[in-house]
Structure 1
Amino acid sequence: MPRPLLLDPDELRRWATAHVRAHPKDFTQSLSARFGVTRAAAAPAVRRLEAEGFIVRSGGRTRPVFRPGPSRCIERRYSLPGLDESLAWEQDFAPLLDLAANLRNVVHYGFTEMLNNANDHSGGTQVTVRCEVAGSFLYLKVVDDGIGVFERVGEALELSDRRLALLELSKGRVTTDPARHSGEGIFFTSRAFSVFRLEANGLVYERDNPERGQREAERPVELPGEDPGGRADRRGTAVRMAIRLDSALELRSLLEHYTTGAPDDLTFDRTVIPVRLARLGNENLLSRSQAKRLISRIDRFKVVELDFAGVPEIGQAFADELFRVFAQQHPAIELRAINAGAGVMPMIRRARAR
């Protein structure tokens, strides 16, 4: 018979999340039956679940009543392909989460978009989804065993270097299956969550999206299970996200931010491209070919903001290709430069003045 202190804490948390509602008056007895320990031996495990916020006790000492606490831990594994991501959300996850309406919409959106990507694009055989509520954050992780998102995008777009797949995904409206997908899922999910990390094929794409007025101390330090290095030999794609439980973000307001016709028209026609992703390794952004790489496949947008954060300088040819040549050839597309520093802005002004 296993000793209570040797019980798997993670399995205990997942079991408590799934069963405390069904066993408010016999929770300890049910736990002891499930894990094969006596009721007396189960008591330390129950106290630990209380301390971690997974259950809340009320009533008398001899006849306690238990209900769900603020913490949650849910994990499911599904076979691919043929997965119904909406059914997975509605049956396995949504009933166990107590979220504000706006947050539920955001999590629902990110959950189904990332699970649908795994189902339709990964070429894998299974996907594992894990959701945790701990402290002030909800954490969501989706991991499949497929080809890897950057390899898939690189193949579909015939990219010369798989690192350029990060750049293409950051633009939005990029998909390997245009007949069935709009290519918007990763773009909007990566902006809806406070922290977003996409890892595959030894590469990592990540975004940090602090909400207005949010202090650095209110950010999660790391995402559970994070591997900062990104192993090149790992198969599949891992998506890790986190969002504050008190987030005020409305999904519609996010969609409106990236359209020029809001609020009546929500067509996705405005994007923001991180210019630093056009760099391969430590190369400087100097050439026309690099500029063409940056703005390839953006003809579907009306407004394109080029974010120069993390780019200390650019070359004359790079700036000229963007802000004179491309601008003259595509007058219907508005190019905007944001976060351009002292090593960038003079080159942009020079190109525009010609």
Structure 2
Amino acid sequence: MAGIRKTSENIRQFILRNVEHNPKNIATLTARKYRISRQAVNKHIKRLVEQDELLAQGATRNKHYSLKLLEKWEHAYILDEKLAEDAVWRADISPFVTDLAENAIDIWRYGFTEMLNNAIDHSAGTKVHVEASKTAITTKIVIYDDGEGIFKKIQRELALNDERHAVLELAKGKLTTDPDNHTGEGIFFSARMFDDFAILSGGVRFSHVPNEMEVGLSESQKFQSGTSVFMMLSNDTKRTEKHVFDSFTSGDDYGFTKTVVPVRLAQYGEDKLVSRSQAKRLLARVEKFSTVIFDFDQVDSIGQAFADEIFRVFKTRQPEVELVDLNANKQVTQMIRRVLSTGWRRRVSRHVSLPRKGA
């Protein structure tokens, strides 16, 4: 009996986890997955509807399902010197997630307080709105303010040519426009703790998928003034705050020593990564880290000048910084090897981690 109950629970969890992307054919998908009849699947779906975990809409062929909203809460706060992120957490958000496991609560505490503090200290807005919602599978929180806009502010403070450059700087970490009071680590680590994390401001969207080590930049429909931060986490996540920190820190002082730089963020539209100026944009501030991982995911090719600026010129100037390439295809790897071979002929020491030939 215990085995039957476990199988039934697995089937229902599968339905709940996949229904959002398969609202009309979830029964067919589940039947194929577990090799059971649609009639058997429909019994599980009916049970989930009765338990208020699934919402059924439509009839017969038009019938579709979605996760039922179990709880929703929202509130607007005045952005002034009286507002404190820890007080909001204790009074309003902690009770909303109190039924979750300790590791999930820890992630929510870190991410929420960091993002609300950013709005308080940096947005220059007048109010901030918080929305929280929960289903049987996930919890979501959105924080949006009416301030200047995070990308516009970073562009202004760092004298960048484009708001999109701010996304690249955020992706690296250790970015702050107020170094006396902030470390610039909040967004970097928060993005890696949640299953889905995104920031929208102006016409630019920054998003992160932790399991794929992917950071995205996209043009979005012109967003209202201010900044919107979206965070979503599975209610039964196994991820821990400590695991995320351990992935990028080292030493007795637990220092933030490693970063991942998504190389594709240095190119826009149909641009090719060929110039030294693009490489210098990618290299800005990376000397703050002891290990820099350049992620070449979705990068088809790079030019000689681009590769030379990173893997020879920068490495010569900053020999103590370890440079590691990740997800480089054959063309990218060959270009990196080419500039490295030039450097070796010049007897410049190298500490770049490269795939073995033929790997």
Report the TM-score when normalising by structure 2: 0.73
What pairs up with 1:54-133 in 2 under 5 angstroms? 71-82=70-81, 83-97=83-97, 98-133=99-134
| 1:277 shift after superposition | 0.7
- Is the CA contact 1:123–1:147 (under 8 Å) kept in the aligned structure 2? yes
- Relative to its length, the structure with more helix (as a share) is 2
Contact 1:86 1:112 in 2 (8 A): yes
Cα shift at 1:52: 3.9
TM-score, normalising length from structure 1? Answer: 0.74
Q: 1:146 to 1:302 in 2, by over 3 A?
A: same
Match of 1:300 in 2: 288
Displacement of 1:147 after TM fit? 0.7
Query: Helix, strand or coil for the counterpart of 1:343?
Result: helix
> Residue 53 of structure 1: CA displacement?
5.3
The answer to whether the 8 A contact 1:81-1:120 is kept is no
Q: How does 1:143-292 map to 2 (within 5 A)?
A: 143-210=144-211, 230-232=220-222, 234-261=224-251, 264-292=252-280
Q: Deviations over 1:141-161 (max 9, x none)?
A: 111111110001101111011
8 Å Cα contact 2:201/2:223 also seen in 1: no
Secondary structure of the 1:163 match is: helix
Shift of 1:265: 3.1
**Structure 2 contact 69–133 (Cα < 8 Å) conserved:** no
Deviation, structure 1 residue 81: 2.8
Two-structure CA RMSD over aligned residues (Å): 2.1
Q: What is the distance in 2 between the residues matched to 1:129 and 1:211?
A: 28
Structure 1 distance, partners of 2:90, 2:262, is 35
Q: Is the 1:194–1:211 Cα contact (8 Å) retained in structure 2?
A: no
Tell me what 1:344 maps to: 332
- 1:62 match: none
Worse-superposed segment, 92-101 or 107-116: 92-101
Q: CA deviation at 1:243?
A: 1.0
Provide Cα deviations, 1:213-271, integer angstroms capped at 9, x if missing partner.
xxxxxxxxxxxxxxx9633252011111111111111111211110132xx43110100
Secondary structure, aligned partner of 2:301: coil
Amino acid at match of 2:255: T
Distance 1:317 1:231 in 2: 35
Alignment-mate amino acid for residue 73 of structure 1: K
2:33 corresponding residue in structure 1 = none
Identity %: 42
For 1:326 and 1:211, locate their aligned partners in 2 and report how far apart those are by CA, in whole Å. 27
Residue 290 of structure 1 and its aligned partner are, at CA, apart by 0.6
What one-letter code is carried by the residue in structure 1 that aligns with 2:239? L
The 1:298/1:210 distance shift into structure 2, 3 A limit, reads closer
Q: Is the 8 A contact 2:104 2:235 kept in 1?
A: yes
Query: In 2, Cα distance between the equivalents of 1:119 and 1:52?
Result: 37
In the alignment, the residues of structure 2 paired with residue 197 and residue 233 of structure 1 have an alpha-carbon distance, to the nearest angstrom, of 13
CA shift, 1:51, in A, is 5.8
Task: Give the partner amino acid of 1:269.
Answer: T
Shift in Å, 1:206: 0.6
Aligned residue in 1 for 2:305: 317
Structure 2: unaligned runs, 5 residues or longer:
1-48, 55-67, 343-359
| Number of the residue aligned with 1:222 | none
Residue pair 2:293, 2:324 contacting (<8 A) in 1 also: yes
The code of the aligned residue for 1:279 comes to Q
Could you tell me which runs of 5 or more consecutive residues in structure 1 were left unpaired when the two chains were aligned.
Answer: 1-48, 55-68, 213-227
- 1:118-174 per-residue CA deviation (whole Å, 9 max, x = no partner) reads 111111111111111113111111111111100011011110111100000100000
In 2, the alpha carbon distance for the partners of 1:300 and 1:169 equals 14
Amino acid at match of 2:102: A
Does the 8 A contact of 2:203 with 2:221 survive in 1? Answer: yes
Partner AA of 1:86 in structure 2 = D
Partner residue of 2:350? none
Q: Tell me whether 113-122 or 230-239 shows the greater mean CA deviation.
A: 230-239
CA deviation string 1:71-130 (max 9, x = no partner): 321211111132201100100121232111010000111100110001111111111111
Measure, in 1, the Cα distance between the counterparts of 2:69 and 2:279: 49
Amino acid in structure 1 at the alignment position of 2:269: G
SS in 1 for 2:184: coil
Alignment of 1:4-43 (within 5 A): none
| Distance in 1 of aligned mates of 2:282 and 2:219 | 25
